Structure 1
Amino acid sequence: AVQDDTTLPGHFSSHVVSNLGSRKSYSWRVTTICRQRGRYQLGPLRISTSDPFGLFPMERDLSATTNVVIYPLTFDIQQFALPIGLLPGGDALRRRTHYVTTNASGVRDYAPGDSFSRIHWRSSARRDRLVVKEFELDPLADIWIVPDMSVYEHVAPKEALERLRQQDNLPPWMQKDSFTLPGTTEEYTVSIAASLAQYFLRRDRAVGMLGYGQSNEVVQPDRGERQLNRILETLSVLSARGEVPLTDMLHAESHLFPRGTTLIVVTPTTRENWATAVRQLSRRGLRVVTVLVDPGSFGSSRSSIGLATLLEASGMAVYLVRNEDDITAVLSKSKTQAGYFTIA
């Protein structure tokens, strides 16, 4: 028998092998539907065998393990009303970059490792040595994704958690191939944050992430696929166990946001003091877009509708996401609809 002590939910790879002859091998395939984000351990294994009468049992532990990270579910957003018209691109950053951009800022001497495509041949011929072009980042302000992971704001109905546990305990042949987002505000918040990061990074914007959960996570702004993997890996283990309220977190980390920065805050809060905080951030030259995850649609007695109305009346961009909403459709509003929401 092979006993697998993997921590991945819904992973059933333990197996009983009978009548295996000497110097023979046996293999089997295991398919696991990954329904819960997080970091899990594959292994260790314990192999036990015996003679047909059970007189000489033997066990061997295979202690080798490896980790697997399950990223949060992301949605393909078609458009997001961010910077054109509603939010300006920001000031020129004047920051050197190793990326090749459309903004050439000057030349310097060739250094080992520089790509030949960066060589400026006219300057090299004139100076009689290799000279390469230097580039600056595009003059667009950074975007910060801020998921609110305060324990005081989130709602996790027992029915949703029990349904998730039941799915994980089903054998593979009884599990559905389709996957729906667990009905908790925490999972909706994380999934929306991951989807927005994916949207902007694939459009070559510099994106950072800030979240206070069981630990304080800060991912500095950067571009590219590696940055997306970095943010998704951080979000995969972030849980709603933060002790610091959203407004206090932004105040403590205000040094991260220079003037012109865009903040996209994903929160299930219903507190009207968030509207005051948004106005204060705007006066500092920050651009704030709020994505409200309505706890009232998850079984809570609290609702975000009043806060959404208040933000809209103040001229702030706000999106309202409810349980079982089509997140792609809600976040892909046209630019003329930005700052508005629809109550079904």
Structure 2
Amino acid sequence: MKFQKIVFIVPVALLALALLAGSPLLLRLFFISILVPVVSYIWSVLGIRGISASAEAPPTHCQVGEQFQQRITVANDSRIPKLWLRVEESTNLPGTREPAVLSLPRWGSHEWQSTFTCRRRGKYYLGSVTVTATDPFGLFSRKQTVGEPQSILIYPATMDLPLFKASSFNEFGYGSGYQSISQISANASSVREFSSGDSLNHIHWPGTAHAGKLLVKVFDSDRSYDGSKTVWIVLDMHQKRHFGHGEETTEEYGVTIAASLVRKHLQSGMRVGLIASGEQTYLIPPERGEDHLWRMLEALALIEATGETPVGQVISDHMEYLRGNSTVIVVTPSITGRLAEATRQLRNRVDSIVVVLLDPASFGGETSMANAARNLSSTGVQVYVVRQGDELARALDNRASLLHATFI
């Protein structure tokens, strides 16, 4: 309960003046100044009694950018009318909602529907209501939270990345790295239209001449190649590497990119795993299917950039999992010597390595990673650069990656 200091100051002042001046009028005002706070206090106490609230259960989850609605009812379960109640929804969901002022007749209720926009990933609570009753003079106020809070999990947004591709070491002539037999089969069974990143050695020239457009060979083994491939997403959650404010941070961009890559590769039939070191270590083994997608999105919804381990060290610590017919995609705002060393160690263990660099300078960081990105791409690591405000589908276009640009 809150009260105004004037409740004590005015009576004391009036009593002192009445005794000094011997004024009956001031004495009467003194008694009135005592009576008014008493009435106001009783008003505030009775004003909050008998108030209840209920809310529809929110959806258990949604994604950033989506909206949902919730119907809330506040009821007066007493025979005394409630006047000038200040009602505010109690929730930690981002976004401001103005409190409402309403009056309830005895045994009456008020119902409304709120629309919420999912602005940021995470776990949030809503469904309870904070009701504040104030007397007409504004001397006393009593606050009470009614209703049961309910949780909702907001998954990160996922974007379509139609032109993202992880190019292997051998595709660009680096000659090292894991090489699957299925990749070098010579038996072509059909042709398809050329897409960015396809090897020029696989162009089917007779078909190209006949169709008037570039066609490439499809090998029997290619049909099962993607299905046998494993993709590891390594997300850098080292707290000292992230920049930005609000929703425009390298952390949020990184999580959105990781979620989008997870969805893209799972929809392609690949096995996808996640490695990250944030407030805890995340190691989700590679699997397929929609259930696995939601498990990974849940982890990405809750992860926070509070980790103490640099991403290069995270990769080294999990090197035993990164091998064979695998692609390793590192999403990071920083390219360090330790990361470069980790990618060097991966060269002979996996099929391809991709680094998605979140340009720290564009998010308010002081250090530019342009030279480090070029140096890393010169070792055969495919590097995509994403800046604040970029459209992700365009920034993660295979034709825009540093490795691909080197050979165009």
> Does the CA contact (< 8 Å) of 2:232 and 2:286 recur in 1?
yes
Range that drifts further, 143-152 or 33-42: 33-42
- Aligned twin of 1:147: 235
Instruction: Return closer, same or farther for 1:55/1:314 CA change in 2, 3 Å cut-off.
Output: closer
Aligned residue for 1:232, secondary structure, equals: helix
Aligned residue for 2:384, secondary structure, equals: strand
Structure 1, gaps ≥5 residues long: 93-135, 165-181
Once residues 227 and 257 of structure 2 are traced to their aligned partners in structure 1, the CA distance between those partners, rounded to angstroms, is: 26
Once residues 247 and 145 of structure 1 are traced to their aligned partners in structure 2, the CA distance between those partners, rounded to angstroms, is: 13
Aligned residue for 2:116, secondary structure, equals: coil
**Residue pairs, 1:232-271, within 5 angstroms:** 232-271=297-336
TM-score (norm 2): 0.59
> Does the CA contact (< 8 Å) of 2:232 and 2:326 recur in 1?
yes
Once residues 89 and 45 of structure 1 are traced to their aligned partners in structure 2, the CA distance between those partners, rounded to angstroms, is: 60
Instruction: Return closer, same or farther for 1:320/1:54 CA change in 2, 3 Å cut-off.
Output: closer
Cα deviation for residue 88 of structure 1 reads 7.8
Identify, as 1 or 2, the structure richer in helix: 2
TM-score (norm 1): 0.69
Instruction: Return closer, same or farther for 1:214/1:292 CA change in 2, 3 Å cut-off.
Output: same
- Aligned twin of 2:123: 39
| Residue-by-residue CA offset, 1:137-180 (whole Å, 9 max, x unaligned) | 97512111111011222123xxxx3xx4xxxxxxxxxxxxxxxx
| Residue-by-residue CA offset, 1:101-139 (whole Å, 9 max, x unaligned) | xxxxxxxxxxxxxxxxxxxxxxxxxxxxxxxxxxx9975
Relative contact order higher in (CA < 8 Å, ≥ 6 apart):
1
**Residue pairs, 1:152-231, within 5 angstroms:** 152-156=240-244, 161=245, 164=246, 182-231=247-296
| Residue-by-residue CA offset, 1:70-124 (whole Å, 9 max, x unaligned) | 22232211132136857989589xxxxxxxxxxxxxxxxxxxxxxxxxxxxxxxx
Cα deviation for residue 304 of structure 1 reads 1.5
How many corresponding residue pairs? 274
> Does the CA contact (< 8 Å) of 2:315 and 2:342 recur in 1?
no
Aligned partner (choices 353, 359, 375) of residue 288 of structure 1 = 353
Instruction: Return closer, same or farther for 1:269/1:23 CA change in 2, 3 Å cut-off.
Output: same
CA RMSD between the two structures: 3.3
Q: Does 2:406 match 1:339?
A: no
Structure 2, gaps ≥5 residues long: 1-84, 183-223
> Does the CA contact (< 8 Å) of 2:166 and 2:353 recur in 1?
no
Once residues 337 and 319 of structure 1 are traced to their aligned partners in structure 2, the CA distance between those partners, rounded to angstroms, is: 5
Aligned residue for 2:339, secondary structure, equals: helix
Q: Does 2:153 match 1:69?
A: yes
Aligned residue for 2:372, secondary structure, equals: helix
| Residue-by-residue CA offset, 1:197-256 (whole Å, 9 max, x unaligned) | 111112222111111011111222122222222212211221211101112111222232
Once residues 139 and 25 of structure 1 are traced to their aligned partners in structure 2, the CA distance between those partners, rounded to angstroms, is: 58
Which amino acid letter does the alignment assign opposite residue 242 of structure 2?
H
> Does the CA contact (< 8 Å) of 1:89 and 1:140 recur in 2?
no
Cα deviation for residue 34 of structure 1 reads 2.4
Once residues 295 and 155 of structure 1 are traced to their aligned partners in structure 2, the CA distance between those partners, rounded to angstroms, is: 7
Instruction: Return closer, same or farther for 1:227/1:152 CA change in 2, 3 Å cut-off.
Output: same
Once residues 135 and 342 of structure 2 are traced to their aligned partners in structure 1, the CA distance between those partners, rounded to angstroms, is: 72
- Aligned twin of 1:15: 100
Once residues 375 and 331 of structure 2 are traced to their aligned partners in structure 1, the CA distance between those partners, rounded to angstroms, is: 17
Aligned-pair identity in percent equals: 35
> Does the CA contact (< 8 Å) of 1:11 and 1:32 recur in 2?
no
Which amino acid letter does the alignment assign opposite residue 257 of structure 2?
I
> Does the CA contact (< 8 Å) of 2:274 and 2:285 recur in 1?
yes
Once residues 344 and 179 of structure 2 are traced to their aligned partners in structure 1, the CA distance between those partners, rounded to angstroms, is: 19
Cα deviation for residue 64 of structure 1 reads 1.4
Cα deviation for residue 269 of structure 1 reads 0.9
Bigger Rg, which one: 2
Aligned residue for 1:26, secondary structure, equals: strand
> Does the CA contact (< 8 Å) of 1:90 and 1:140 recur in 2?
no
> Does the CA contact (< 8 Å) of 1:147 and 1:193 recur in 2?
yes
